[in-house]
Amino acid sequence: MELRNQTGAGVVDCKQALDEANGDMEKAVEILRKKGAAKAAKKSAERTASEGIIATYLHHNKKLAAMVEVQCETDFVGRNEDFLAFANDMAMQVAAMNPEYVSPENVPAEVLEKQRRLFREELAGENKPEDIKAKIAEGKLNKWFSEVCLTKQQLFKDDDKTVEQCMVEISAKTGEKIAISRFARFEMAPAPKTC
Amino acid sequence: MELRNQTGAGVVDCKQALDEANGDMEKAVEILRKKGAAKAAKKSAERTASEGIIATYLHHNKKLAAMVEVQCETDFVGRNEDFLAFANDMAMQVAAMNPEYVSPENVPAEVLEKQRRLFREELAGENKPEDIKAKIAEGKLNKWFSEVCLTKQQLFKDDDKTVEQCMVEISAKTGEKIAISRFARFEMAPAPKTC
């Protein structure tokens, strides 16, 4: 009972842990702690694990390429035509639109802080109420997100919607959560003319 | 003449600089300094700039992909069949053999130091002369390079030679320096079984 109070673990787990520890209370707590941590890790792995595919894009001049990893929940959707088309569109999107981050959540805190400071400084001299300035700064930040964050960019193939809106559509069609986990992009600098 | 002695620049450059500075010695030195720096930067850009292509590889299961940037000296060689085949082989090599660095020169100093320390520690207990131990450690380091460095790996398609040896062959065939500048590799972790 003392072990149960101390750890909040179930009766069976406590009994097993005490047996395993030969009655040593401190050892039993340690055993329960490890078991709990392992369980939590397992659950978290199950929750974050996902199916999905990698798509690549290579520009015809072979000087520009991108790859992107797009996740879904089952391998069934991973073979879905709309999902595959979306992944291919994303590889081309990354190549063409050169995002720096997947989404605003992926912008490092110090980069975000630097941008906020920049926008505040731009407005510092203007004779406007503070709450208006805050709103304008917020608008500038969202504009910036729509340039550097893949999910906030306008779709290259259809600039009536953003990547994020397109993801919601695919999600609705397939009934699964769709996520872009990472991308990479290579572009060769043009060689200087030597004429 | 004073300006020439001070800067080592040519007569024509010194005269131009003095004209531009309206006879102001200090200004003329500054002008020559800037001109020199600009010239050096231009030369260096010309020397390091190069042609080449990016190649991509996407595994049939769409869970593994790689891209690699391979450089040559002219766009003529950039369209050469052997060069293109080599670039494609490299994309597949990166996917299959999972290197961490392009070549030993790209291994960060602290990583290299850690490996050296590890190999020295492995040999610490052995009753061998120091020079023999140093040779064995060197061998272990080279073995490690052949695992983590792309250029030192055995060719995936033909393990009779290394990537580096293959590059020398392509260089000899095309008459140009061939270099691998960077690569990226995505592999999706297999989703845990949920049966």
pLDDT at A156: 93
By CB atoms closer than 10 A (0-12, 13-18, 19+), residue A119 is buried
Q: B69-113 pLDDT, tens per residue? A: 999 999 999 999 999 999 999 999 999 999 999 999 999 999 999
List of E strands, chain A: 51-58, 64-72, 179-187
* Closest residue of chain B to A187, computed from CA coordinates: B54
Pick from B54, B58, B63: CB nearest A64: B54
Model ipTM value: 0.71
Q: How far apart are CA B133 and CA B126, in angstroms?
A: 8
Quick check: B186 and A65 CB within 8 A? no
Pick from B53, B186, B191: CB nearest A50: B191
Residue B187: in which H helix or E strand, if any? strand B179-187
* Closest residue of chain B to A87, computed from CA coordinates: B62
Give B89→chain A minimum CA distance, Å: 15
Compute the C-alpha angle A185/A188/A190, nearest 5°: 145
Contact B152, B145 (CB under 8 A): yes
Give, rounded to a whole angstrom, the gap between the first and last alpha carbons of chain B. Answer: 88
The CB density around residue B26, as the number of other CB atoms within 10 Å, is 8
Which residue stretches of chain A have pLDDT < 70?
Answer: 5-9, 33-34, 36-49, 191-195
Q: B135-184 pLDDT, tens per residue? A: 999 999 999 999 999 999 999 988 899 999 999 999 999 999 999 999 99
Contact A148, A161 (CB under 8 A): no
Chain B contact residues (CB < 8 Å to A): 45-46, 49-58, 62-65, 67, 69, 75, 78, 182, 184, 186, 188-189, 191-192, 194
Q: A60-76 pLDDT, tens per residue? A: 999 999 999 999 999 99
Chain A contact residues (CB < 8 Å to B): 45-46, 49-58, 62-67, 69, 75, 78, 182, 184, 186, 188-189, 191-192, 194
Q: How far apart are CA A176 and CA A173, in angstroms?
A: 8
Query: How far from chain centre, in Å, is Cα A38?
Result: 24
Mean pLDDT of chain A: 86
pLDDT at B49: 41
User: Percent of chain A scored above 90 by pLDDT?
Assistant: 60
Give A80→chain B minimum CA distance, Å: 13
pTM (two decimals): 0.72
Q: B32-52 pLDDT, tens per residue? A: 766 765 555 454 444 444 799
Contact A58, A32 (CB under 8 A): no
pLDDT at B119: 92
Quick check: A67 and B189 CB within 8 A? no
Using alpha carbons, select from B186, B179, B187 the residue that is nearest to residue B102. Answer: B179
